């Protein structure tokens, strides 16, 4: 007796599902590698665009930053580093999806902190911590859901910039700021002594070749940033 054995044909739907599953795994793998790279090496992060004046060699840079949008939060206090940590957590929640659109936003660099010093040594200063909003969200940034977070419109501005390495802290920032101001005074450059900025580019997991900066603004150009 002859037995008919029919070879089971592979379903096109099964192939489709397998391909979709593979594509999903590839996407997750790519996203994971990107996240790990950003966390460990601060790689692949978007930066705000600027034009640099390179007419002569100096121990500082002169940068003109283009008009851009940043997401920011403002705190009052006595300690710069504590304000940075609190501000960073608020903004990190925003880019992780704590916004009206519930969308994740890529991390960028630098994290900037504007300092408006208090009237005296025993007075609180005002600290505004900010993340640059990546290009894909510049035209229509997600609206913050945290009332202490806002979208900041920075007009074009020129900053004098001094870079330094290592794990930055308040003492280092103040020392580097003083060195920058001394260089500007040496060169007869007019600048605003306040507000001033610190900027950090790296994750705490990055151990070497760290990049930090202090900025002071060109004289007679500081204006209050608009809030959306």
* pLDDT tens, position by position, 37-49: 555 556 679 999 9
Both tokens of 46, joined, read 């978007």
Q: Where are the beta strands (DSSP E) in the chain?
A: 50-53, 61-65, 68-77, 111-116, 125-132, 149-154, 157-164, 191-200, 212-218, 226-227
What does the pLDDT read at residue 224? 45
Concatenating the DSSP letter of every residue in 62-83 gives EEEEPPEEEEEEEEEES-HHHH
Angle at 54 between CA 49 and CA 59, to 5 degrees: 100
Integer Cα distance of 70 and 94 in angstroms: 12
Q: In whole angstroms, give the CA distance from residue 127 to residue 87.
A: 9
Query: Tell me, what's the pLDDT at 31?
Result: 47
- Pick from 118, 178, 126, 128: nearest CA to 151: 128
| pLDDT score, position 96 | 95
Q: What is the rounded CA–CA span in Å between residue 33 and residue 37?
A: 6
Q: What is the pLDDT of residue 207?
A: 87
pLDDT < 70 stretches in the chain: 1-43, 221-228
pLDDT of residue 10: 53
């Amino acid at each position: 007796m002859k037995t008919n054995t029919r070879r089971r044909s592979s379903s096109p739907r099964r192939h489709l599902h397998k391909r979709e599953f593979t594509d999903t795994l590839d996407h997750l793998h790519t996203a994971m590698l990107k996240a790990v790279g950003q966390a460990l090496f601060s790689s692949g992060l978007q930066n705000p665009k600027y034009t640099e004046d390179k007419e002569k060699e100096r121990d500082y840079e002169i940068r003109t930053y283009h008009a851009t949008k940043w997401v920011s939060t403002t705190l009052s206090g006595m300690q710069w580093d504590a304000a940075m940590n609190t501000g960073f957590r608020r903004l990190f929640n925003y880019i992780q999806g704590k916004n009206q659109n519930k969308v994740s936003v890529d991390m960028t660099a630098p994290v900037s902190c504007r300092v408006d010093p208090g009237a005296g040594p025993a007075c609180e200063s005002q600290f505004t911590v900010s993340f640059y909003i990546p290009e894909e969200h510049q035209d229509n940034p997600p609206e913050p859901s945290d009332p202490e977070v806002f979208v900041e419109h920075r007009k074009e501005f020129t900053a004098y910039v001094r870079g330094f390495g290592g794990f930055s802290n308040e003492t280092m920032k103040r020392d580097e700021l003083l060195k920058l101001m001394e260089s500007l005074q040496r060169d007869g450059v007019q600048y605003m002594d306040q507000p001033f900025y610190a900027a950090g580019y790296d994750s705490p997991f990055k151990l070497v070749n760290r990049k930090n900066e202090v900025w002071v603004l060109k004289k007679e150009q500081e204006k209050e940033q608009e809030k959306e």
